[in-house]
Copies of this chain bind each other. A is one copy, B any other.
Amino acid sequence: MCCQFGMWNGRTDPSDDPPPPGLGLYGDFHTIDWVREKARDRHRHRKISSKKKDSRWDYVKWVLDSWSGWLVVTLTGLAAGAIAGLIDIAADWMSDLKEGVCLTGLWLNREQCCWGSNETTFEDRYTCPLWKNWADFVIGQPDGPGSYILNYIMFTLVALAFAGLAVTLVREFAPYACGSGIPEIKTILSGFIIRGYLGKWTLLVKTVTLVLAVSSGLNLGKEGPLVHVACCCGNIFSYLFPKYRTNEAKKREVLSAASAAGVSVAFGAPIGGVLFSLEEVSYYFPMKTLWRSFFAALVAAFVLRAINPFGNSRLVLFYVEYHTPWYLFELVPFIALGVFGGLWGAAFIKLNIAWCRRRKTTGLGRYPVAEVLVVTAVTAIISYPNPYTRMNTSQLISELFTDCGPLKSSPLCDYVSLASNDSVEPGAGGDDVPDRPAGPDVYTALWQLAMALATKIPLTVLTFGMKVPSGLFIPSMAVGAVAGRLLGVCVEQLAVQHRDWIFFRGWCHAGADCITPGLYAMVGAAACLGGVTRMTVSLVVIMFELTGGLEYIVPLMAAVMTSKWVGDAFGREGIYGAHIRLNGYPFLDAKESEGAPCWARDVMRPRGDSATLVTLRSEGMTLREVEEVVTRCRHTAFPVMTGAQSPRLVGMVLRCDIMIAIESARKKQPGLSDNCMVSFGGSGRSGSESTEVAEGSGSGGDGVTGATLCLRSILDVSPFTLTDQTPMEIVIDIFRKMGLRQCLITHHGRLLGIITKKDLLRHQAHASNIDPPSRLFD
């Protein structure tokens, strides 16, 4: 009764027997074996291809199979674009609900409400009669101190309601919906399984709570969570196609494309999205995936443009066009912004991680709802008095990025016209007026911006990591944009008042409009985002796609490079890496260790005098013995050796596979004796392994009767082996590039030990003197 399972592990010869159920699946919080997944996919593909000429139906199956990759990324792109559009529209509307309502329809946001009104002049646009702030709506009195207080209270209460609803929904229905999701997606893409993280409940709850969280005015963005939302879509659609449903490696190709689509809709930057997926989140990124990611990103961007959530046929609120060139001297302030961004990034990572660790380790973590409510209340109370913090963060960024054109009515554009030497009406300053000394409103605005900076920094640190969906692209960019705009206005005023200084003399003539404060805001935003995430190319490309002009790449690049270098001086990890480490996810980094050289023998287990390696014998063990070993010893994999004297390695077998195979054999053969012999060998004849390598295709294990349970088919006959003198850098390289889960270590052909991905992570943590309090080392 030698049972033979099919070639489910993809390495031995193919056979058509279906594998027992559960074989080849992974448990929650397990690491996948990329080599095995890819081999299984190759086998599946070969089977479908070889059958395609058998019948018309098989041919259709083959065609469907070949096109399913394109189909799934198209669907993902469509869904990501549509959901992003919905979120944009809903968040826009609900943010305005904090301040008032529209009389023509509760479902209209302020801008739509005012479009309907007859007041079409520019100044009246924000005071249109159909839009009532809460004081006006409730007590019929739009202005006055009492109304102000009533508005203030309503603002806080609505924010609290939104935030409270969001955190309750997250806590009750989908705990995975909190945070930005990017650290977890990075981990999942590197080959980890987190069941439900990309499921339909998470998608639904994250979409709803993201809108609530953004509308509540907290210091968080929707850009990071959009990547998570897009990945949920990719995961859900991949369940429609057997090619992706059954194969964890193939599924991750879809997820890579989905994350590109997510960034594409978050920033309106399809190429930036692809590069983000490549640079920041993806792990295994073949060229085919690059092309499909690009496609998904484009589809998503076009769906979002068709929805047109901002009514300006742009994908984001803060798209800009500058018309003035920059000058070489300006690199000095740009690099200064880079230094600021790097410092901000390093400080943010340190403080945020410290705070999140405190949340994890102290009682604070037990009251997520209270925490969110308190932070929301503090945010709302601090934010309301200052117009720059009261507005939506995206709107703030848009305001700061935009240059003062003739149509711009912001207080930041209140420049004095030199001709009349009077403070001109807002809206008349700008590009037309070449010399721009600041008017009084500019100075007020600068103070308000400085206050906004001072409040936003601590609030962002406290907010990221709470139990609501929270991205930090937008808050980081806001910090940088405020700092940049402040610096930009200062440099501009310096230039206006000191045209004879050596810095300005050459290029900033009287009457020339030489400094663009909006560009400074943009460079500052890029620098701060770079400092926090340590992204490089993808960040510059995203910013480039926002401006559309090649000339502004150089300032952006200078600032991003500086910020990365400054940030790296304080710690080489970005915020996502830091959160991965904080949560103890098994993510294998490519970073070079600086310490003493180290070899495989120093990391493998068992090492030194500890217990010897537990192995199985390919012949001669009874079922009871095998079960005993497997039950006693909870290693994930067991090497299988030839007979007792001079043991040599035959292959490797996974613990879960043995369990499933034995269970399945017991089901098939209810009377299977515990004393039945277990054979992992070629054809049951012991000691025949040296010459019969060439045969053994498919039918190798059959034909032997008697009390032998043949488990040859679950044996991995080509385990990876390395010698004990291999440097650890090479070991890590192989694990990363091949996506291994474990590797055997030999010395002079003799098996010495085993290295698993966990051993590597432990080694890396040890090398960096880190002791992560993690799920990983439990």
Chain A residues near B (Cβ < 8 Å): 10-14, 35, 38-39, 42-43, 45-46, 49, 270-271, 274, 278-279, 286-287, 290-291, 294-295, 298, 301-302, 536-537, 540-541, 544, 548, 550, 553-554, 557, 561, 590, 592, 594, 597, 600-601, 642, 646, 648-651, 689-690, 693-694, 717-727, 729-730, 733-734, 737-738, 746-751
Known: A536-B291, A597-B46. A724 touches B693 (CB 8 A): yes
Considering the chains assembled together, what is the distance between the CA atoms of A749 and B747 in angstroms? 10
Whether the Cβ atoms of B648 and A646 lie closer than 8 Å is no
Nearest CB on B from A65, distance (A): 14
Known: A554-B298, A749-B648. A537 touches B274 (CB 8 A): yes
Q: List 6 A-B contacts (CB under 8 A).
A: A39-B729, A45-B592, A295-B561, A298-B557, A548-B548, A749-B749
Considering the chains assembled together, what is the distance between the CA atoms of A734 and B721 in angstroms? 13
Please give me the 10 A-B residue pairs with the lowest Cβ-Cβ distance, nearest first: A718-B726, A648-B749, A717-B725, A737-B737, A718-B723, A291-B536, A648-B748, A749-B749, A649-B749, A294-B537
Whether the Cβ atoms of A540 and B294 lie closer than 8 Å is yes
Whether the Cβ atoms of A601 and B694 lie closer than 8 Å is yes
Which of A294, A302, A690, A738 is most buried by chain B, counting CB atoms within 10 A of its CB? A294
Contact partners of A694 in chain B: CB under 8 A: 601
Contact partners of A726 in chain B: CB under 8 A: 11, 718
Closest to A540 in B: B294
Q: A279-B290, A295-B561 are in contact. List 20 more A-B contacts (CB 8 A).
A: A11-B727, A39-B729, A42-B592, A46-B594, A49-B594, A270-B550, A271-B541, A278-B290, A291-B536, A291-B537, A295-B557, A301-B550, A646-B646, A648-B748, A649-B749, A693-B747, A718-B722, A718-B723, A737-B738, A746-B749
Nearest CB on B from A686, distance (A): 13
Whether the Cβ atoms of B597 and A748 lie closer than 8 Å is no
Considering the chains assembled together, what is the distance between the CA atoms of A536 and B537 in angstroms? 20
Contact partners of A649 in chain B: CB under 8 A: 748-749
Whether the Cβ atoms of B738 and A39 lie closer than 8 Å is no
Considering the chains assembled together, what is the distance between the CA atoms of A369 and B275 in angstroms? 46
Which of A10, A290, A748 is most buried by chain B, counting CB atoms within 10 A of its CB? A748
Nearest CB on B from A689, distance (A): 6
Nearest CB on B from A679, distance (A): 15
Considering the chains assembled together, what is the distance between the CA atoms of A723 and B650 in angstroms? 9
Contact partners of A537 in chain B: CB under 8 A: 274, 290-291, 294
Nearest CB on B from A760, distance (A): 16
Which of A42, A291, A689, A738 is most buried by chain B, counting CB atoms within 10 A of its CB? A291
Contact partners of A590 in chain B: CB under 8 A: 286-287
Known: A553-B270, A693-B724, A717-B725. A738 touches B748 (CB 8 A): no
Report the copy number of this chain in the oligomer: 2
Considering the chains assembled together, what is the distance between the CA atoms of A537 and B642 in angstroms? 51
Whether the Cβ atoms of A693 and B557 lie closer than 8 Å is no
Whether the Cβ atoms of B279 and A287 lie closer than 8 Å is yes
Whether the Cβ atoms of A553 and B748 lie closer than 8 Å is no
Contact partners of A39 in chain B: CB under 8 A: 727, 729-730
Contact partners of A746 in chain B: CB under 8 A: 721, 749
Contact partners of A295 in chain B: CB under 8 A: 557, 561
Nearest CB on B from A567, distance (A): 14
Contact partners of A597 in chain B: CB under 8 A: 13-14, 43, 46
Considering the chains assembled together, what is the distance between the CA atoms of A388 and B49 in angstroms? 48
Whether the Cβ atoms of B725 and A734 lie closer than 8 Å is no
Considering the chains assembled together, what is the distance between the CA atoms of A43 and B594 in angstroms? 11
Contact partners of A723 in chain B: CB under 8 A: 651, 717-719, 721
Closest to A601 in B: B693
Contact partners of A717 in chain B: CB under 8 A: 723, 725
Nearest CB on B from A631, distance (A): 27
Whether the Cβ atoms of B12 and A725 lie closer than 8 Å is yes
Contact partners of A734 in chain B: CB under 8 A: 738
Considering the chains assembled together, what is the distance between the CA atoms of A18 and B734 in angstroms? 29
Nearest CB on B from A704, distance (A): 20
Considering the chains assembled together, what is the distance between the CA atoms of A566 and B118 in angstroms? 56
Considering the chains assembled together, what is the distance between the CA atoms of A725 and B651 in angstroms? 10
Whether the Cβ atoms of A298 and B553 lie closer than 8 Å is yes
Nearest CB on B from A152, distance (A): 42
Contact partners of A594 in chain B: CB under 8 A: 46, 49
Closest to A557 in B: B298
Nearest CB on B from A719, distance (A): 7
Considering the chains assembled together, what is the distance between the CA atoms of A537 and B720 in angstroms? 34
Contact partners of A557 in chain B: CB under 8 A: 294-295, 298
Considering the chains assembled together, what is the distance between the CA atoms of A279 and B737 in angstroms? 18
Nearest CB on B from A106, distance (A): 35
For A748, give its contact among B43, B270, B540, B689 (CB under 8 Å): B689
Whether the Cβ atoms of B730 and A725 lie closer than 8 Å is no
Considering the chains assembled together, what is the distance between the CA atoms of A687 and B468 in angstroms? 64
Considering the chains assembled together, what is the distance between the CA atoms of A12 and B726 in angstroms? 8
Whether the Cβ atoms of A727 and B738 lie closer than 8 Å is no
Nearest CB on B from A564, distance (A): 9
Considering the chains assembled together, what is the distance between the CA atoms of A544 and B301 in angstroms? 15
Considering the chains assembled together, what is the distance between the CA atoms of A290 and B538 in angstroms? 10
Contact partners of A270 in chain B: CB under 8 A: 550, 553
Closest to A279 in B: B287
Closest to A696 in B: B725
For A725, give its contact among B14, B287, B544, B718 (CB under 8 Å): B718
Considering the chains assembled together, what is the distance between the CA atoms of A28 and B490 in angstroms? 60
Whether the Cβ atoms of B690 and A747 lie closer than 8 Å is yes
Contact partners of A298 in chain B: CB under 8 A: 553-554, 557
